[in-house]
Amino acid sequence: MRFWRRHSELVCRDAVALMTAYLDGELDDRDRTRLETHLADCPHCSEYLAQLRVTIDALGHVDIDELSDEALDDLVHLYRQWRAG
């Protein structure tokens, strides 16, 4: 039992390495349980995970630059040239 516990518990470095797959829902049940068990006891890794979530959320709210009228006109011109052969 002690042998199993030693090999199933994660250290922080391993927990951090699993976080991207965890956040993307790509961990299998065993690794997800191991990670969540570690997180329940480790405030540093929990904070790190929270900061990764903030980072991903910020990336999901990156603004799209406005397309200028000039840039659109240039591309429509390109399109018409191509259509005209």
Partner 1 sequence: MPVAVNRGCGAVVTSDAVDDDLALVDRLRAGDETAFVEVVRSYQARLMRLAQATVGSRAVAEEVCQDTWLAVFRGVERFEGRSSFKTWLFKVLLNRAHTTAARELRAGRSDDDVIERFDANGAWAEPPVPWSDRVDDALVAERLAHRVQDLLPALSELQRQVVVLHDVEGLDSTDVATLLGITEGNQRVLLHRGRAKLRECLAAELGMDR
Residues that contact partner 1, how many (by CB under 8 A) = 46
Please give the sequence-ordered ranges of beta strands (E in DSSP) within the chain, or none if there are none.
none
Q: Cα torsion at 13, 18, 22, 28 (round to 10°)?
A: -130
Pick between residue 1 and residue 60 the one whose CB is nearest to partner 1: 60
Q: Cα torsion at 19, 20, 25, 30 (round to 10°)?
A: -40
Phi, psi at 69, each rounded to 5° = -60, -35
Within 26-85, the residues that bind partner 1 by CB under 8 A are 26, 36, 44-45, 47-48, 50-67, 71-72, 75-76, 78-80, 82-83
- Is residue 35 within 8 Å of 52, Cβ to Cβ? no
Q: How far is the CB of 31 from partner 1 (least distance, A)?
A: 13
Pick between residue 1 and residue 64 the one whose CB is nearest to partner 1: 64
Residues that bind partner 1 (CB under 8 A): 11-14, 16-17, 19-26, 36, 44-45, 47-48, 50-67, 71-72, 75-76, 78-80, 82-83
